[in-house]
Amino acid sequence: MRAVSYAQFGGPEVLRVVADVPVPEPGPGQLRVRVAASVLHPVDLMIRSGRFPAPLPVGLPYVPGWDVAGTIDAIGPSVGGFTLDDEVIGFSPWLRTTVGAHAEYIVLDAAWLTTAPTGIAATEAATLPTNGLTAAQALDLLALPAGSSVLVTGAAGQVGGFTLALARVAGLHATGLAGADDREFVESQGAAFVPRSEDPARAAAGSFDAVVDLAVIGPSLMELVSDGGGYVAASPPLRPEPVRGIRTFALEVLPDGTRLGELVKLVERGEIPLRVAGVYSFAEAATAHHRLAQGGVRGGVVIVP
């Protein structure tokens, strides 16, 4: 099968389309998916450049890519609830498995997948799994009752947009910290808008029941959290120590087909926006990496076979 791969660390120029990658076979509890679309993430760029700060389970070469939208091509033993040609979405926990989705086929645990949203193109559906579950799991950690207030930094990014939408669905009062050009999007999700500044804590002056720090601003935001509130750090090393009874969490997204299925229902009801910044073929993978590295992307950078 064909896949995007790299055999050395470096810039986007190290990416190659390799045609002789073995087609993986599903084992017990697994499904093989014929990939229709996958998504490029900042962590893919960090790993490709050799800047990822932790050891990975196996060495080069790597096929990158987490999210997948596609159709079931083969079913392993002990799998129920799916049939051949079902359209599904899910993601590979790449840092644990190094099983990449920028390939024509991928094998994943059935428990990590769910039925794709009806009537949604694969290029859009592929933007949901990793980032949507990151947002959902952040709010699940906080377990805020309806009516609570939450500040979301990086609110116009992919995870930020999902977090605002899910906060609205949960009856939370969200405030989104984002760039000046992002006011319309933040407010479209029912959130109050705060423009990004050199002093985010001052810009978002006030008190919140919780903060979801997706922009990795850091512990300075703790001063905005009410006593006994909650704080989710998107970067585990920047998880602050608990003070004033504030619960602090380091966010590490986990695959969860059941929870993802709940998000699919919200997509089908129009409650969650799916945004695509651009679609690139395998041959254009280097261009996609360049685009994401430029920053300011408002939507998924999608890779298709």
Report which of 133, 129, 69 is spatially closest to residue 101, judged by C-alpha positions: 69
Q: CA of 52: how far to CAs of 5, 7, 43, 65, 180, in Å?
A: 17, 16, 8, 15, 30
| CATH 3.40.50.720 residue spans of the chain | 131-250
* Structure confidence at residue 29 as a pLDDT band (50, 70, 90): very high
Return the CATH architecture of domain 3-127+274-304.
Alpha-Beta Complex (3.90)
Tell me which H or E stretch contains 289: helix 285-293
Residue with the two structure tokens 């601003």 = 217
pLDDT of residue 146: 98
Report which of 89, 65, 91 is spatially closest to residue 4, judged by C-alpha positions: 65
Strand, coil or helix: 296:
coil
Average pLDDT over residues 85-95: 97
Q: In this structure, are residues 211 and 225 in contact, taking their beta carbons and an 8 Å threshold?
A: yes
Tell me which H or E stretch contains 187: helix 183-188
Residues 6+ positions from 192 with CB-CB distance below 8 Å: 173, 174, 175, 176, 186
The span from the CA of 132 to the CA of 263, in Å, is 7
Q: Kindly state the tokens that stand for 192.
A: 């109050």
Is residue 199 pLDDT above 80, yes or no? no
Q: Listing from the earlier edge strand, what are the strands of the sheet with 192-195?
A: 192-195, 173-178, 149-153, 208-213, 225-233, 247-250
pLDDT of residue 137: 97
Q: Judging by beta carbons within 10 Å of its beta carbon (0-12, 13-18, 19+), is residue 95 exposed, middle or buried?
A: middle
The span from the CA of 53 to the CA of 250, in Å, is 16
Average pLDDT over residues 88-106: 97
Q: What is the CATH number of domain 131-250?
A: 3.40.50.720
| CATH 3.90.180.10 residue spans of the chain | 3-127+274-304
Could you read off the pLDDT of 141-185 as tens digits, one per residue?
Answer: 999 999 999 999 999 999 999 999 999 999 999 999 999 999 999
Is residue 202 pLDDT above 80, yes or no? no
